[in-house]
Structure 1
Amino acid sequence: MAKAAAARTGVDGTSSVEDAVRAVRISSRRRQLLDAAVAVMERTGFHQMSMQALAEEAGVSVGLFYKYFGNKEDILLAAIVDILEKFRDQLQPAMDLAGDDPVEQLIAGFRQYARIVDENRDAVVLTYRESRTLDAGGRERIKQLEVETAGPMREAILAAVDAGLIRADVEADLAVFDLMMLAHGWALKQWHFGAEFGFDAYVEAQLRMALPAMVIPERLAGYLAEI
């Protein structure tokens, strides 16, 4: 029983349950502040954004923002990193659920990527519009996250080439870049495409254009029938 009690108590005397609750509160508060920052930057742009406007949007004090972020640049970087980490962390699990067929994994990856775009349209637009504002270190971190994000779909394409399901002349990096841009288009041009397509229809239409450029003709009809 002493061992169990020790396991429940941290080195500073706090319980593991208290630590977990504190971590959830910090995560929730940080999410609240980042959501407010994205909303304000979407309206005003980064350079016109003030800490007071951020505080008013989030319904907190300016001092609380400074507790979590050192300055405006830190907030911008955190907002961009946040969306890129969602892409990185959620893509592979969605693809794993698609089974062993690498083309079906690729389709599932594109759907999930586009779904994250749909759920974070303002943040995606913000990334395009404001990432150039970051310093060299921030831009380098963004580049690395983008490479990590592309990894699962790139590996699926290479596996599909090896399996003879995708043409050998398909360049994996270019193909992944094109798929990512198609998904980003839902955020960048949603004001236009949203009047014609629902989200699922948009994803299906993009897949029906993208897959014929990659999949061997003998297998194309089967994959299109499952979209």
Structure 2
Amino acid sequence: MKKRKVPASVKDPKLLEYRRNQIIKASVRLIKEKGYHRTTTREISKESGFSIGALYEYIGKKEDVLFLVCDYIYDEVNERLESNLDTTKLKGIERLKVVISSYFRVVDGLQDEIIIMYQDVKALPKDALLYVLNKNNLMMESIEKVIRECVAEKIIDLNEKQIKLTAHNIIISGHMWAFRRWALKELYTIDEYIDLQTDQLLLGLLRQNEK
């Protein structure tokens, strides 16, 4: 997918990436505390460690900050999922377990970012929103691909709608670790949560196969 460009007057790609990472981290801290709409670009620039004028060397408008946060989240998720799948020789259900575990661990490391994305993504302009939604589709396709491999190996028996719903269930189960963390962390470690959710997800798939 073609990368959506955010306006910048800085031409050095390494400096641009470094400063934007500062902006993303600062923005997440502020938005978590105050919310996106109550956070100002002046506050973001101060938290990032440079002037408001310098901030606008790396973005064009405030919505670009939210876009950079959302884009960063999906890049991290997709890269880690692909990396874990590329390095494993496992197949079938064991490969699906790797997908679930990898995704949940990414969520564990990006809890605040994921909550912000869900709460504020609607504030993005239409073109940015469509781009972010397409990034979500790429993530879904990675998970669906592994589920289809299990179907092809006749480990589970699902039709196309069931495959897509299973992928959505995996996504939502992962996100629940972020949304319900205040309650779940009183009960489970991340390892326990992964094991229990994986068992429940796979039990439902294998039962479906028995029908």
Contact kept? 1:165, 1:216, Cα under 8 Å: no
Return the offset for 1:44: 1.1
Structure 2 CA distance for partners of 1:36 and 1:201, relative to 1, 3 Å: same
Aligned partner of 2:201 in structure 1 is: 210
Give secondary structure in 1 for the equivalent of 2:39.
Answer: coil
Q: In structure 2, what is the Cα distance between the partners aligned to 1:194 and 1:64?
A: 40
Deviates more, 1:175-184 or 1:44-53: 44-53
Q: Which has the higher contact order (CA 8 A, sep 6+)?
A: 2
Q: In structure 1, what is the Cα distance between the partners aligned to 2:108 and 2:46?
A: 26
Q: In structure 2, what is the Cα distance between the partners aligned to 1:98 and 1:161?
A: 19
Q: Is the aligned partner of 1:184 residue 2:178? A: no
Return the offset for 1:215: 2.8
Aligned partner of 1:164 in structure 2 is: 154
Structure 2 CA distance for partners of 1:102 and 1:93, relative to 1, 3 Å: farther
Give secondary structure in 1 for the equivalent of 2:206.
Answer: coil
Aligned partner of 2:128 in structure 1 is: 138
**Match 1:125 to one of 90, 93, 115:** 115
Q: Deviations over 1:166-211 (max 9, x none)?
A: 1235711110011000001111111110111111111111111111
Q: In structure 2, what is the Cα distance between the partners aligned to 1:76 and 1:168?
A: 37
Deviates more, 1:207-216 or 1:24-33: 24-33
**Match 2:59 to one of 69, 77, 86:** 69
Give secondary structure in 2 for the equivalent of 1:87.
Answer: helix
AA paired with 1:146?
N
Give secondary structure in 2 for the equivalent of 1:73.
Answer: helix
Q: TM-score, normalised by structure 1?
A: 0.81
- Which segments of 5 or more consecutive residues in structure 1 lack a partner in the other structure? 1-18, 220-227
Contact kept? 1:114, 1:183, Cα under 8 Å: yes
Structure number, greater radius of gyration:
1
Contact kept? 1:98, 1:104, Cα under 8 Å: no
**Match 2:189 to one of 194, 198, 204:** 198
Q: In structure 2, what is the Cα distance between the partners aligned to 1:199 and 1:84?
A: 21
Contact kept? 2:19, 2:58, Cα under 8 Å: no
Deviates more, 1:59-68 or 1:146-155: 59-68
Return the offset for 1:26: 3.1
Return the offset for 1:102: 2.7
Aligned partner of 1:10 in structure 2 is: none
RMSD over aligned CA atoms reads 2.1
Give secondary structure in 1 for the equivalent of 2:56.
Answer: helix
